[in-house]
Structure 1
Amino acid sequence: MSRTLIIIGLVIVAVGILWPWLSLLGLGRLPGDIVIRRENITFYAPIATGLLISMALSLILWLINR
């Protein structure tokens, strides 16, 4: 369990460091991501981005466990 938590932490750190380059992929602007802008509030629900990332992680984990 501790090895898993360390790996998850390292992945989060790596994503944080690489975020300026990862944002160039356009993952936050996919069709299906809901953005509602009002005068004082902006609501953002990344539905399509979340599904894409979930499918990619599921595939990677499935390949690792095979």
Structure 2
Amino acid sequence: MNQLPKTIMIIGVVIFAVGFLMQFIKLGRLPGDIIIKKENTTFYFPVMTSILVSVVLSGLLYIIGRFK
């Protein structure tokens, strides 16, 4: 039960760090993202951005899991 506050604090720090970094690192519009522009609409599907975020989060969670 003592690990719940520690876990919540780690999650908060990670969310803060991701929010801070997103101001400076513009994810999106990477090569491989699908952008379809028509007359009045634009469809944007971030395929490569999603893969990149997934790999980074998987690595981060793997590292956090090893310390428990």
TM-score of the pair, normalised by structure 1: 0.67
Structure 2 gaps, min length 5: none
Where does the alignment leave 5 or more consecutive residues of structure 1 unmatched? Answer: none
Percent of paired sites with the same residue: 43
Q: Count the aligned residue pairs.
A: 58
The aligned residue for residue 43 of structure 1 is 43
Instruction: Report the TM-score when normalising by structure 2.
Output: 0.66
1:53 is aligned to: 53
Question: Rg larger in 1 or in 2?
Answer: 2
Which structure has greater helix proportion? 1
- Note the 1:1-66 alignment, pairs <5 A: 7=11, 11=15, 14=16, 15=19, 18=20, 22-66=22-66
Runs of 4+ in 1 over 3 A off after TM superposition: 2-8
